[in-house]
């Protein structure tokens, strides 16, 4: 692929927060993202048992309907004291129609008797890129952002569990970070950097 050419890839997500972050983080890539709404693609059922399985499912689903290469993201929050919950169920932890605030409150309620030292958690993000529906070797990128769960929300930025996710390196919640700083260190920032590195390697002479 020549540097002047842009590769059209379907972005298989209906989550506005994820879409904004992926677009912002991929400005260095020779990619033109095509929203799945252009093909009236609805989110497929996430029947996988891991972030990787669900990301591949979503990417294959989008590629099948669109006939295009597709990138999908599956991500979530893993809390050690809850044996890894909410995990792959992060987006529907308090029910499919629950608001972000309701999901956060459910998590805080479940951790109400857990002391600070035992509230460790990590955000996980997996990207799956397939060239076709039946691509035998999807490109997989996996990022992990370590932290812990606060006792109450703090901050107005970000989305999802960001207001209750404490970032020890910065001594604040993810929702108190600037967009630029969050994108630099977050789980999604990590996987997008991996994707950038793959494209750089592919274009080296």
**Of 13-22, 79-88, 130-139, 145-154, which range is least confident?**
13-22
φ, ψ for residue 77 (rounded to 5)?
Answer: -105, 130
Q: 107 Cβ partners below 8 Å, 6+ apart?
A: 77, 79, 86, 93, 149, 161, 164
Q: What is the pLDDT of residues 135-186, one digit of tens each?
A: 999 999 999 999 999 999 999 999 999 999 999 999 999 999 999 999 999 9
What's the pLDDT at 101?
Answer: 96
The count of structural domains within the chain is 1
Q: How far is Cα 41 from Cα 63, in angstroms, rounded to an integer?
A: 10
Asked whether the predicted pLDDT for residue 204 surpasses 90, the reply is no
What's the pLDDT at 6?
Answer: 84
* Greater model confidence, 202 or 18: 18
Domain, as residue range, for 24: 7-203
Question: Percent of the chain having pLDDT more than 90?
Answer: 81
Q: How far is Cα 15 from Cα 30, in angstroms, rounded to an integer?
A: 23
Instruction: Say what the pTM is.
Output: 0.90
Asked whether the predicted pLDDT for residue 2 surpasses 50, the reply is no
100, two tokens: 């972000």
Asked whether the predicted pLDDT for residue 4 surpasses 60, the reply is no
123, two tokens: 């955000």
Q: 173 with 166: CB under 8 angstroms? A: yes
Q: What is the pLDDT of residues 36-83, one digit of tens each?
A: 999 999 888 899 999 999 999 999 999 999 999 999 999 999 999 999
Does any domain span residue 1? no
Does any domain span residue 43? yes
Q: What is the mean pLDDT of the chain?
A: 93
Does any domain span residue 2? no
- The residues carrying an active-site annotation are 74
CATH code where residue 73 lies = 3.90.950.10
Mean pLDDT across 124-138: 97
């Amino acid at each position: 692929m020549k540097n002047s050419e842009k590769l059209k890839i379907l972005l298989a997500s209906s989550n506005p927060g994820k879409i904004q972050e992926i677009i912002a983080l991929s400005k260095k890539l020779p990619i033109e993202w095509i929203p799945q709404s252009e093909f009236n693609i609805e989110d497929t059922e996430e029947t996988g048992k891991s972030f990787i399985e669900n990301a591949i499912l979503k990417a294959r689903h989008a590629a099948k309907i669109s006939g295009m290469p597709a990138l999908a993201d599956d991500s979530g929050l893993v809390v050690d004291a809850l044996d890894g919950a909410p995990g792959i169920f992060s987006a529907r932890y308090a029910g499919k129609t629950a608001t972000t605030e309701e999901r956060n409150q459910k998590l805080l309620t479940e951790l109400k008797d857990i002391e600070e030292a035992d509230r460790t958690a990590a955000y996980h993000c997996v990207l799956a890129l397939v060239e076709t529906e039946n691509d035998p070797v999807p490109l997989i990128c996996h990022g992990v952002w370590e932290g812990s769960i606060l006792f109450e929300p703090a901050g107005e930025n970000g989305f999802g569990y960001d207001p209750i996710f404490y970032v020890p390196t910065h001594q604040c919640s993810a929702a108190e970070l600037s967009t630029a700083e969050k994108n630099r260190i977050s789980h999604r920032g990590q996987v997008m950097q991996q994707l950038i590195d793959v494209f750089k390697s592919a274009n080296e002479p």
